[in-house]
Each structure stands twice: as structure tokens, then as C-alpha cells.
């Protein structure tokens, strides 16, 4: 692929070279932060270079060499990020794994990748690896960062990271040039990372990227948004996820900005407030949680605060977005907004840790218009992007002044996007993946000979040139009367209600649409508390009649809005039930990135789906669940099924106004 | 479970302890010893005298008969704060924390014995008081890290769920860096996951600091899993003392728990 060459020819082309570059150009600037014993500790680029040097040489002494794979498992810890860099310095390929995956899932990835060494966070991960030791014969060594609880483990494979760092330092003292020589060998075309796809379909595949594709993509995106070495980000999303790799690793290395690691996964909110990032990525559900929390707390606030909040939020909704996007706004409206900033928006942003935020991205799922408007109205520049592991995230991104909740923006710099005849989105660009690990067949299926990559998503460009994504192409279906059925669209519309956490819609080939619902325990819980309803837990609350009535209201509201859209009026939800348990990745119902696995759920709960369509009013279910510790048990319950009112459509059902939408189905 | 390092000398010995309240005999002629570094569980049906035994050990109750020996020296009737100074810390069956204070401040109170600045210095936060508090705070942060309660550091204890309050109480107890830690039903009212966490913390404390632990617990699974030794009380009498395996097969114990066939 030809990419316009940048004027600064001297810029490094691999991450190891970037490390040396920063250690030379900005040795004292902060590179990584971590909270230790309640106090933020900072590593400068010089410190990071020293540490990575020792780590790389130490790992080399353990037998890691060019082309070998290094598994990395744990929460976002500086040492784990540095291990990633150390592996790349050796020409090895780091393979980050989802840290909350159960042992058997890890065994698959470790064996598939053929990882030789694993660097893990703590005892929890060590235990998981030792459990599946036999299934991963290639795994020769396990290095752990936190020695707690591991003192009595007598396994030759286990090494404290301090020991590895120590042997690396010794090697560095005897051969001071070795590290620089290793770094000099790294090349743009080298494989730099392997990220396993979450696998909504089939077994996970390792997506391999080269230094070249990652560096170029990260640099393009940073230039597009004007990111500098002065940014601060909080790395809190799973390291195995491509977004974290781009935002907390690659972009930090190409611009030299500082990455902070949360103290623990429970303290992210506090850490966010203390760090005050300037640049932030979160999936829509995180923004949703933030908004829900604000709203719940405002409900409990004193009447004065409550009224002030609603008055100024109303004002912000009216003029906030215009001010943010630099459109003309009347003088008094500006004065009002300033006052609101001082009294409401400023404090709200401060509580969220967004006071210094210049740019926030969201992606992965559709985001509710209300949610989007809320954050933009109080002056947070939140934008959507559309990405894939295969593209190293960046396919489309919204421009600052053209941000809308229902699109994902225009193609990112250097990326071409087209819609196939069947309505599927295809892209090609500098960030295109190298290959699927050991899966030439799958690589060839996904990427055409001339470089176009199939995304599997159905979408179209709107009049504005912005891409709209409808659903996974294979999920778009039809009801038995021929009208369009787009499950994701229904699910998203419902998920925008604060009481609903997760939805799975059914209807392909059926007479009407139905849905499984997961309530949002905190939102419905506080709703129930206000009404004095007693409940013991999720299962109990979900089964209560008032909750069902509440959800029916939500569904009917949605049905009414669907009725106005001739294409979708047919897919109003007629019957629904509330699941007795939350959908869980441990049970295989969600992917590790929390997307519903539609097919799996349909099989697992087939009796419930039958009950939704056979007119019965309740159905018994008995399923096996896995607990966090890997044991399993059974939950059984009798679920009631409720009907919701549907509304007559405003136009004939089968008059699709958009060709692409109907075509989307054929892509399946 | 591992270790060979374990169990040193007897650090606390109770000989022929009898305790009664009016006509109620809480403990009758009980002798037991606690060895350094061990994890000893006391089990028994309700009202068997388990909590009374702990109360005798840390000086809340004074037995009418019998003698407690601490590190080889006979101990007279002492007060709980004297026991604390000897290195005996405890948690309670019903949580006893300062509800309005933050988690951090509650744990800081556990460091009380380690602070020596006078009232005036502390009031002005000056000189020695300032230096001490900074050093103590570091210790407390290590404990917070150890028990994984960073997220609630600044939260008032009263707002925390029960399981976490129990953990804070444990934190305060180990903040005193005790030689002997008495835990009175640390897992009562917890779900399986919380119990597992608590077990891990108890084992880790025992392992990392070498703290001797005496534990009262009803969950037999937990007791048999984590204890080095188990003592069984019934109606104020000791009916069993040995490894979990021995105790499980002891006919008296089985009778006390399951009833005997006559």
C-alpha cells in the first residue's frame, strides 16, 4: 500500500525504535504512571527504556527470540505494557489475553499461538496457567509481576519478574550494546502483535499486525486529532482488546504521551478523577453507566440542586452542542451557558474526571442519542468511530463539526471504504492486518487479493458521506411476512432505556418479533427502592410484576416510535420475557467484549424462545452457570412471558426506502 | 495447602479454664494451647463457648479457675488493651467499627499503639505527630493493598456492604501487626464468593506475616480446608483437638454434630 510519506523522514518505523527515540528526545517526560500505596508513581521515558532493556534481555535469557510468541495476561499494569515492548525489542510477538477469561479459554489461545513464555500479573493468572499446563506444552516459562501468595509454589517454570529483570541487567552490563543492536534489527514489516478476536462466530482467531501498519495508523490518527506528548490517558480497558492497544500503547509510543494505569479494576472512577485524562476512550456502556449514576444521584439531591441541574441541563441541550461545534449562539445564551458551566457542567465534569478532556471516543456499539447529546451538551467532545481488530481500529471516524449519534463518520486518513453490492462494508488501508495466525484460509476469505477486507457488517453511506452501520450482515433477517428484521436495531433502541441492560431480539423467519431482556440491576434496584419493593437479588427483582410492567412501558414506547418508520413498523416487539440471570461471558453468552452471542443464546434458551411463540404465559428454564472460580452450578426458574401492545404502521410495510438496507439481508 | 515452615513453639497456653456467669457454665475445665504461626480453628454448636474462649484469651472475661500462659509466663487478670499491647488483636462477631469514619481512618486506629506523639503535637499535627502519621499511613496503605480495598479507601464505613465491613475490620486488626489474631466468625453472612476471598486473605496473612490465627467459624468446609488444627467445643467442654482429618473422624465430634444413635 502506498502512503504519502511524511515530511519528518527521521521518524522511527517500529515501536522499539520509538522507545529509544523518546528516551533520547524527552527522557524526563512522564511515560507511565501507576498508583502504589495510594500515591501516583511516575516512570519517565528514560526509566521505561532502562526497564524495558532489562526486561528484554532477561526474557532473552529465558529463551525468547525472534518470531517467538510471548503471552501477556493481566490488568493494565506498567510492567505488562513494558513486557509487550520488550518482546517487540527481541523481535518476538506479544499476545495479550483477556485477563478474565477462564483457564480453558486461555488454553486454546496459548496453544494456538504456541506461546513460549507468559508474563502474567499475579497468582490468579498463574493458577489458571498451571491448571492448563498440560494442554500448552510449548509454554516453557511463566513470569509473574506480583509475587503475593506464590512463595510456596514449587514449579521450575515460574519466575519472579524481579529475577528476570535482574538477569537482564547482568547481561546488559556485560554486553551494553546488545539491546541497541536488537532494536536496530526491528523492521516495519515484522509481525508486532497478535490480538485474538472476540469470536462472536466460531473459535477465536489471532489477528497479526506489523509494526508498519500499527505505527502508520497510530500516527495518522494522532495527527488527525492533534495529539501531542502532553496528553494523559488512563489505560483501563482489557489489554487484549485492539482499542487499548491503539489508544494506550501505540499512540503513546508514537506521540510520547503518558499512560496511567489504574490502581485496581475497582478504582477506575477514582483514578479517572485524579488523573483527569485529556484523551479518553470508552465503549458506550461506560458512558451509559456514568449517565445512569449521575441521574440516580441527582434524583437523591436536594430540591434546589435538583432544579438547578434540570434547568441548566435543559439550557445545555439547547445551545451546548452549538457552542462546542463553534456555531453562532446568542449573547444571553452564552452567558447562561457560562453560568451553567460554573454551577453544573463544570462540577459534573469534575466528578467524572472529565475536566481536562479534549477528546473522547466511543465505539463498538450504537450509542443512544440522549446519551450522546448529554455529554456533548456539557462540552465534552465525544465522537464515534468505527473499527475492527483487522483494521487496527481505525476504519471511520467522525470529524469534529459533524458529529451525529447515528453515524460512525467518514473514512479515517489513508483508509478507503466501500459498500459491496450485497451491502457489506469493505475497507482497505495502511492499518490492514497482516494475516490470521496459521489460518491462511480465513485470511484469504476475509481479505481479497487487491487488499479489500470484508467487515461482515451491513451498512451504507448517508447523504452526508458518513457511514451508517446497521448490524452484522448475517444477523439481518426477515419476518415471515417479508418485512425487514434488524435485531441489533431493536436491541439498541431498548438498551437506551436506563432500566434495560441487555436485550436479545428474535424474529427471523417468524411471524413477529420477541425479546429476552436483562434489567439494569442498579437502575431498576433504585427504582424499586423508591417504591418500597423488597427483593433479594437479580433473579427475584427481575421476576416481579411491577418490573414487568415497567419494561412493557419501555417496549411499547419503542413500538410506537417504530410504527412511524415504514421499514421497521413490522418488527415491533409483541412478546417478551425477563431472563432470570444476567447474560455472562463466563457462560459463553457474551463475548469478552460483552457482545451477545446470538446463536449460542438461541440454542441455550430454545425452550424459552418456543414459549415466546406458542402463546404460553410462563416457561420453566434450567441452565448451567459457571461461577468466577470456574466451578459450575445450575439455576432454574419459571419465567413469565408478557405481551406488549403494537401500533399500526403509518405507511405500507413493504416499501423499503433504502436499497442498501434491504440488500443487507442478502449479504447473510 | 503447603508449608513445612509452620508451627513453632506454644505461644499461648490455657490450662483448666472454667468460666461461669452465675449458674451458667460457659467453659468447663478447658485446656488448649496455641502454637506460633499455626491456623487454629475453634468449632462447636451455638453456645458451646467459642466466643467466651476468645474473650478469655484477650482479657475481656476473667475465668474463675485456670491459668493463661503467654509465651511461657503466667498471665494474671488483664484488660483487653493490655492484651493488645502483648500482640493480640481480634475482630468481632458483630462488626465493631466507627461507622462515620472512613475506611482509612478506621484502619489508622489500629495503628494507635504504634504512635507516641503527645496530645498537643497531634492536635497541631506538628513535629513527631506529622512524621509518625506519615509512616503509619504507609503501613496502612500496604494493608489496604494487601486486602484489596483501594476502591473504598475514603468511603465512610457505614456506607459499605457487610462483606466489605468485615474486611475493613480485619484490616484494622492486622494494622496492629499482631502476633496472635483472633477472628470471631469472619465469614458469617457471606456468600460463597465473599467467603472465598476472605479465606484467601486469612491464609495470605498467615503466610506472609507469619501471624498466628485463632478462628471461630461455622462453615465446616472452610474450617476443614484452611485450618492446621481444629478444636471442638460442646457445652463448654473440649471434645476434640487435632488435624482436620482427625477431628472429622472423632466419634465424640460426630455425635455432637449429628447426634448419636442410642
pLDDT interval class at A465 (50, 70, 90): confident
The minimum CA-CA distance between B79 and chain A, rounded to whole Å, is 34
A419-443 per-residue burial string, b: 16 or more CB within 10 A, e: under 16? beeebbbbbbbbbbbbbbbebeeeb
C-alpha cell at B175: 494494622
**What is the per-residue pLDDT across A157-188, written as a single tens digit (0 to 9) for each?**
999 999 999 999 999 999 999 999 999 999 99
* Tens digits of residue pLDDT in A525-558: 989 988 888 888 888 899 899 999 999 999 999 9
List CB contacts (< 8 A) between A263 and chain B: 150-151
- In this complex, the residue of B141, B150, B204 whose CB is nearest that of residue A148 is B204
**pLDDT at B100 (0 to 100):** 92
The Cα–Cα gap between A445 and A409 comes to 27
pLDDT at A9 over 60: no
Q: For residue range A111-135, list pLDDT tens digits in order.
A: 999 999 999 999 999 999 999 999 9
Subunit contact B150:A628, Cβ cutoff 8 A: no
Contacting residues of B for A152, CB less than 8 Å apart: 2-3, 207
* Residue A566 pLDDT class (50, 70, 90 cuts): confident
Q: List all residues of chain A from 199 to 238 with a beta carbon under 8 Å from chain B.
A: none
**CA–CA distance from B62 to each of B15, B19, B84, B234 (Å)?**
13, 8, 16, 20
How many angstroms separate the CA of residue B251 from the nearest CA in chain A? 32
* Nearest residue of chain A to residue B138 (CA atoms): A37
According to the model, what pLDDT value does residue A632 have? 80
Q: Does residue A581 carry a pLDDT above 50?
A: yes
Per the CB < 8 Å rule, is A148 touching B153?
no
Quick check: A536 contacting B, CB < 8 Å?
A: no
**What are the chain A neighbours of B144 within 8 Å (beta carbons)?**
37-38
- pLDDT at res. A1: 40
Report the chain B residue with the minimal C-alpha distance to residue A263.
B150
If you compute the radius of gyration of chain B from its CA atoms, what whole number of angstroms results?
19
Beta carbons of B151 and A152 less than 8 Å apart:
no
Residue contact A152–B192, C-beta within 8 A: no
Interface residue ranges in chain B relative to chain A, Cβ cutoff 8 Å: 2-3, 137-138, 141-142, 144-146, 148, 150-151, 153, 192-193, 196, 200, 204, 207-208
The interface residues of chain A toward chain B in range 7-46, judged by CB-CB distance below 8 A, are: 35, 37-39
Contacts of A264 in chain B (CB under 8 A): 148, 150-151
From the list A38, A149, A628, which residue is nearest B193 (CB)?
A: A628
The answer to whether A42 and A29 are in contact (CB under 8 A) is: no
Give the tens place of pLDDT for each residue, A411-426.
Answer: 999 999 999 887 889 9
ipTM, 2 dp: 0.75
* Shortest CA gap A286–chain B (Å): 18
pLDDT digits (tens, 9 = 90+) for A355-397: 999 999 998 777 778 888 899 999 999 999 999 899 999 999 9
Q: What share of chain A has pLDDT > 90, as a percent?
A: 55
**Contact flag B192-A270 (C-beta cutoff 8 Å):** no
pTM of the model: 0.80
Copy the grid coordinates of residue A480.
415471515
pLDDT band at A2 (very low <50, low <70, confident <90, very high): very low
Report how far residue A218's alpha carbon sits from residue A206's, in angstroms, rounded to the nearest whole number: 20
Question: Which among B141, B148, B200 is the nearest to A38, CB-wise?
Answer: B141
pLDDT band at A271 (very low <50, low <70, confident <90, very high): very high
Q: By CB neighbour count within 10 A (0-12 exposed, 13-18 middle, 19+ buried), where does B74 fall?
A: exposed
> Percent of chain A having pLDDT more than 70?
94
Mean pLDDT, all residues of chain A: 88
pLDDT tens per residue, range A475-498:
888 888 888 788 888 888 888 888
Interface test with chain B among A35, A38, A625, A633, by most B beta carbons within 10 Å: A38
CB contact under 8 A, A266 and B196: no
Highest mean pLDDT among A216-220, A320-324, B72-76: A216-220
- Asked if A629's CB is within 8 angstroms of B193's CB, the reply is yes
Cell of A94: 506479544
Q: Cα A212 to chain center, whole Å?
A: 23
The β-bridge partners of A280 are A360
> B193: distance to nearest CA of chain A, Å?
8
Would you say A578 and A543 are in contact if contact means Cβ atoms under 8 Å apart? yes
pLDDT higher than threshold 80 for residue A6: no
Q: Do A37 and B2 count as a contact with CB atoms less than 8 A apart?
A: no
Per-residue model confidence (pLDDT) at position A7: 46
CA distance A518 to A294: 21
Q: Which residues of B touch A584 (CB under 8 A)?
A: none
Q: Count of CB contacts below 8 A, A vs B?
A: 38
What is the distance between the alpha carbons of residues A646 and A558, in angstroms, rounded to a whole number?
Answer: 9
Neighbouring CB atoms inside 10 A of A322's CB total 17
A608: nearest Cα among A630, A577, A582, A645: A577
- State mean pLDDT over A260-268: 90
How far A302 CA lies from chain B's nearest CA (Å)?
19
For residue A150, give how far its alpha carbon lies from the nearest alpha carbon of chain B (Å): 10
Structure confidence at residue B39 (pLDDT): 94
Min Cα separation B108/chain A (Å): 14
Going by C-beta distance under 8 Å and a sequence separation of 6 or more, which residues neighbour residue A387? A242, A243, A363, A393, A394, A395, A396
Enter the C-alpha cell of residue A493: 433502541
Which domains does chain A carry? Answer: 15-267 (3.40.50.12780), 284-471 (3.40.50.12780), 476-666 (3.30.300.30)
- Our CA-based measurement puts residue A233 at a distance from the nearest CA of chain B, in whole angstroms, of 19
CA–CA separation, A36 and A39 (whole Å)? 5
Which residue among B137, B146, B151 sits closest to A270, beta carbon to beta carbon?
A: B151
Domains recognised in chain B with CATH numbers: 1-87+178-262 (3.40.50.300), 97-177 (no CATH)
What is the per-residue pLDDT across A629-656, written as a single tens digit (0 to 9) for each?
A: 667 888 788 888 888 888 887 544 443 3
Q: Which residues of B touch A148 (CB under 8 A)?
A: 146, 204, 208
Compute mean pLDDT per 10 residues along chain B, 262 residues long, and list them: 62 90 88 92 87 90 90 86 89 86 92 77 78 88 92 91 90 92 89 88 90 90 90 89 89 76 52
DSSP state of A367: -
Is it the case that residue A30 has pLDDT exceeding 90?
A: yes
> Nearest CA to CA, how far is A98 from chain B (Å)?
21
Judge contact between B128 and B117, C-beta under 8 A: yes
Amino acid at each position: 500500500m502506498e502512503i504519502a510519506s511524511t515530511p519528518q523522514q527521521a521518524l522511527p518505523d517500529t515501536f522499539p525504535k520509538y522507545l529509544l527515540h523518546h528516551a533520547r528526545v524527552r527522557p524526563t517526560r512522564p511515560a507511565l504512571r501507576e498508583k502504589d500505596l495510594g500515591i501516583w508513581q511516575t516512570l519517565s521515558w528514560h526509566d521505561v527504556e532502562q526497564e524495558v532493556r532489562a526486561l528484554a534481555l532477561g526474557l532473552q535469557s529465558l529463551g525468547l527470540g525472534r518470531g517467538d510468541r510471548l503471552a501477556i495476561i493481566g490488568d493494565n499494569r506498567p510492567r505488562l505494557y513494558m513486557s509487550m515492548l520488550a518482546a517487540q525489542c527481541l523481535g518476538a510477538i506479544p499476545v495479550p489475553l483477556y485477563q478474565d477469561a477462564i483457564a480453558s479459554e486461555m488454553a486454546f489461545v496459548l496453544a494456538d499461538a504456541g506461546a513460549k513464555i507468559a508474563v502474567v500479573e499475579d497468582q490468579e493468572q498463574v493458577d489458571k496457567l498451571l491448571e492448563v499446563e498440560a494442554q500448552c506444552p510449548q509454554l516453557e516459562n511463566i513470569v509473574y509481576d506480583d509475587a503475593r501468595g506464590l512463595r510456596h509454589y514449587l514449579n521450575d517454570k515460574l519466575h519472579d519478574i524481579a529475577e528476570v529483570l535482574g538477569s537482564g541487567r547482568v547481561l546488559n552490563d556485560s554486553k551494553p550494546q546488545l539491546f541497541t543492536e536488537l532494536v536496530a534489527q526491528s523492521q516495519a514489516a515484522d509481525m508486532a502483535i497478535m490480538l485474538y478476536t472476540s469470536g462472536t462466530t466460531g473459535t477465536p482467531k489471532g489477528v497479526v499486525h506489523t509494526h508498519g501498519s500499527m505505527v502508520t495508523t497510530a500516527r495518522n490518527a494522532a495527527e488527525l486529532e492533534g495529539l501531542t506528548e502532553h496528553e494523559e490517558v488512563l489505560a483501563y480497558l482489557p489489554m487484549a482488546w485492539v482499542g487499548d492497544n491503539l489508544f494506550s500503547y501505540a499512540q503513546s509510543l508514537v506521540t510520547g504521551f503518558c499512560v496511567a494505569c489504574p490502581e485496581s479494576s475497582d478504582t477506575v472512577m477514582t483514578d479517572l478523577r485524579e488523573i483527569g485524562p485529556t484523551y479518553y476512550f470508552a465503549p458506550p456502556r461506560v458512558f451509559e453507566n456514568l449517565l445512569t449514576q449521575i441521574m440516580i444521584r441527582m434524583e437523591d439531591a436536594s430540591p434546589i440542586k435538583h432544579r438547578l441541574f434540570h434547568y441548566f441541563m435543559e439550557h445545555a441541550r439547547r445551545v451546548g452542542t452549538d457552542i462546542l461545534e463553534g456555531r453562532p449562539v446568542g449573547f444571553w445564551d452564552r452567558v447562561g451557558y457560562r453560568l451553567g458551566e460554573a454551577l453544573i457542567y463544570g462540577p459534573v465534569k469534575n466528578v467524572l474526571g472529565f475536566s481536562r478532556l479534549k477528546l473522547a471516543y466511543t465505539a463498538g456499539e450504537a450509542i443512544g442519542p440522549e446519551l450522546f447529546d448529554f455529554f456533548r451538551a456539557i462540552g465534552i467532545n465525544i465522537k464515534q468511530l468505527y473499527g475492527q481488530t483487522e483494521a487496527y481500529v481505525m476504519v471511520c471516524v467522525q470529524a469534529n463539526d459533524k458529529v451525529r449519534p447515528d453515524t460512525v463518520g467518514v473514512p479515517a486518513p489513508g483508509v478507503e471504504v466501500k459498500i459491496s453490492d450485497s451491502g457489506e462494508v469493505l475497507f482497505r488501508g495502511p492499518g490492514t492486518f497482516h494475516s490470521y495466525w496459521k489460518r491462511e484460509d480465513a485470511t484469504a476469505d476475509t481479505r481479497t487479493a487487491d487488499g479489500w477486507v470484508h467487515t461482515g457488517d451491513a451498512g451504507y453511506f448517508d447523504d452526508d458521506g458518513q457511514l451508517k452501520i446497521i448490524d452484522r450482515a448475517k444477523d439481518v433477517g426477515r419476518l415471515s411476512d417479508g418485512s425487514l428484521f434488524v435485531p441489533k436495531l431493536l436491541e439498541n433502541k431498548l438498551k437506551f432505556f436506563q432500566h434495560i441492560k441487555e436485550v436479545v431480539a428474535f424474529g427471523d423467519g417468524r411471524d413477529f418479533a420477541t425479546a429476552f431482556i436483562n434489567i439494569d440491576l442498579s437502575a431498576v434496584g433504585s427504582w424499586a427502592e423508591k417504591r418500597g419493593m423488597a427483593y433479594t437479588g437479580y433473579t427475584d427483582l427481575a421476576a416481579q410484576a411491577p418490573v414487568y410492567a415497567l419494561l412493557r412501558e419501555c417496549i411499547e414506547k419503542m413500538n410506537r416510535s417504530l410504527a412511524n418508520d415504514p421499514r421497521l413498523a413490522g418488527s415491533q416487539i409483541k412478546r417478551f420475557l425477563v431472563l432470570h440471570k444476567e447474560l455472562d461471558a463466563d457462560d459463553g453468552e457474551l463475548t469478552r467484549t460483552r457482545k451477545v452471542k446470538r446463536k449460542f443464546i438461541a440454542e441455550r434458551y430454545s425452550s424459552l424462545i418456543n414459549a415466546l411463540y406458542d402463546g404460553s404465559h410462563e416457561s420453566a428454564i434450567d441452565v448451567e452457570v459457571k461461577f468466577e472460580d470456574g466451578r459450575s452450578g445450575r439455576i432454574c426458574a419459571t419465567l413469565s412471558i408478557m405481551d406488549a401492545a403494537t401500533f399500526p404502521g403509518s405507511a405500507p410495510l413493504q416499501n423499503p426506502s433504502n436499497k442498501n438496507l434491504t440488500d443487507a439481508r442478502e449479504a447473510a | 495447602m503447603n508449608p513445612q515452615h509452620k508451627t513453632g513453639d506454644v505461644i499461648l497456653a490455657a490450662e483448666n479454664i472454667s468460666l461461669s456467669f452465675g449458674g451458667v457454665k460457659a467453659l468447663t475445665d478447658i485446656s488448649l494451647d496455641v502454637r506460633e504461626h499455626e491456623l487454629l480453628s475453634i468449632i462447636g454448636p451455638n453456645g458451646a463457648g467459642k466466643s467466651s474462649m476468645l474473650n478469655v484469651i484477650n482479657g475481656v472475661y476473667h475465668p474463675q479457675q485456670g491459668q493463661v500462659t503467654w509465651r511461657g509466663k503466667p498471665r494474671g487478670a488483664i484488660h483487653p488493651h493490655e492484651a493488645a499491647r502483648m500482640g493480640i488483636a481480634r475482630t468481632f462477631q458483630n462488626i465493631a467499627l466507627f461507622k462515620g469514619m472512613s475506611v482509612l481512618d478506621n484502619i489508622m486506629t489500629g495503628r494507635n499503639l504504634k504512635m507516641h506523639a503527645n496530645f498537643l503535637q497531634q492536635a497541631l499535627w506538628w513535629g513527631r505527630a506529622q512524621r509518625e502519621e506519615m509512616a503509619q499511613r504507609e503501613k496502612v496503605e500496604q494493608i489496604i493493598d494487601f486486602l484489596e480495598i483501594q476502591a473504598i479507601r475514603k468511603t465512610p464505613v457505614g456506607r459499605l456492604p457487610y462483606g466489605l465491613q468485615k474486611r475493613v475490620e480485619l484490616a484494622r486488626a492486622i494494622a496492629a501487626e499482631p502476633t496472635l489474631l483472633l477472628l470471631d466468625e469472619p465469614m458469617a453472612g457471606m456468600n460463597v464468593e465473599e467467603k472465598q476471598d476472605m479465606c484467601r486473605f486469612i491464609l495470605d496473612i498467615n503466610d506472609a506475616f507469619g501471624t498466628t490465627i485463632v478462628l471461630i467459624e461455622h462453615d465446616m468446609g472452610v474450617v476443614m480446608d484452611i485450618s492446621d488444627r481444629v478444636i471442638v467445643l460442646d457445652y463448654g467442654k473440649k471434645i476434640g483437638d487435632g488435624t482436620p482429618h482427625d477431628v472429622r473422624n472423632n466419634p465424640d465430634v460426630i455425635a455432637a454434630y449429628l447426634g448419636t444413635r442410642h
